Amino acid sequence: MAQQNQTCHYNESMGFFYNNSGATDTWDKTQLILVRVVGSIFCCFILVSNSMVVAAVITNKRFHYPFYYLLSNLAASDFLAGIAYVYLMFNTGESSRTLTVKEYFIRQGVLDVSLSASLANLLVIALERYISVMNWKVHSNLTKRRVTLLIVLVWAISIFMGAVPSLGWNCICNISDCSRLAPIFSRSYLIFWSVSNLVVFLVMVVIYTRIYTYVKRKTAMLTPHTSGSINRKRTPIKLIKTVMVVLGAFVICWTPGLVVLLLDGLCTSCNVMKTKRWLLLLAVLNSVMNPCIYSYKDEEMWTTFKNLMRCIGNGTRRQRSTKANARALSSGQDTGNSQPPSEETKTDNQGILKT
């Protein structure tokens, strides 16, 4: 039996691993259609809105600061998540059983990279906010070079984390260690993945708790020495609130899924498959919420969004006008062959009539 378990099964389809783990990923047809329709609408919004966030940071010079560069990188990770969700939704249920091992690694790898990138971005943003708040500045003194290095580091770590299962930490050669939620992932890997992410959540909560207490104390110290209230737009408070809402949404949407992954790794008798589809939609909802939070909490971001939409609308109208003018010009050229009679022709005709 031990020898059989050590046999590698790289050439098997995912149906083999689902049967081995005892996982039933069957979907009711109505549920599957509903999830795909709702999920597709969400994913379209994710792709468009997060593209607008990146475009807003690029086009508006008021956003050319470390915080907004990191925020646009978070939007880029949400954009990747939107692509991953589309691929996942249309390769789930019975379709997941027909996937090859390589296709399954790609499906889960892209999703894991996007989650790791989102989490790493939030951690880097938390550290950037901590530096700025400790110096009581709206923006930190991080140079563009350092911000670029941080962004590169975020994606390097995220790609590595997403590739870990395909690099060897899987159960393809030890099927007795396979999980049910991800039938070719080892239970030990799921424990590592969920615990490490929950620890990062805890670290960020500690950082923002420290920031919040410092800001409260600093504000209490400054208030007696200022005439009127402190201008919050010129302090780090406003940006901190935006990030704390984003972090709160991330924790609420992802913690249930991480807990279920942890249960799948620790408990062999727990029924975790029933919650899988709804946790997927909850994760999709997080990427939908982030652009809404940016635009709601940041008036400048919302104004830039409106300007971008106005530019797109004006560009579309110009394109339609150009096409209409081109059609009118071409029709004029077509009818130009039947030109009106020249003056010489008119004179000749009048002479003939006189004679």
Q: What is the pLDDT of residues 81-129, one digit of tens each?
A: 999 988 888 887 778 888 889 999 998 999 999 999 999 998 998 888 8
pLDDT (0 to 100) of residue 1: 41
**Dihedral sign for Cα atoms in the order 42, 43, 45, 50:** positive
Q: Determine the Cα–Cα distance for residues 199 and 132; give it in Å rounded to an integer.
A: 24
Q: Determine the Cα–Cα distance for residues 14 and 96; give it in Å rounded to an integer.
A: 7
Which residue stretches of the chain are H helix?
2-5, 14-21, 29-59, 66-89, 101-134, 144-167, 187-222, 237-266, 276-297, 299-335, 343-354
Q: Determine the Cα–Cα distance for residues 129 and 122; give it in Å rounded to an integer.
A: 10
DSSP structure string for 11-66: TSBHHHHHHHHT------HHHHHHHHHHHHHHHHHHHHHHHHHHHHHHH-GGG-SH
| Residue 119 near residue 28, CB atoms below 8 Å | no
> Going by C-beta distance under 8 Å and a sequence separation of 6 or more, which residues neighbour residue 283?
81, 85, 115, 253, 254, 257
The overall average pLDDT reported for the chain is 80
Q: Determine the Cα–Cα distance for residues 80 and 111; give it in Å rounded to an integer.
A: 8
pLDDT digits (tens, 9 = 90+) for 235-288: 566 677 778 888 888 888 888 888 888 888 888 777 777 777 778 778 888 888
Q: Which of 293-297, 304-308, 332-336 has the highest mean pLDDT?
A: 304-308
Mean pLDDT calculated for residue range 73-80: 93
Model pTM?
0.79
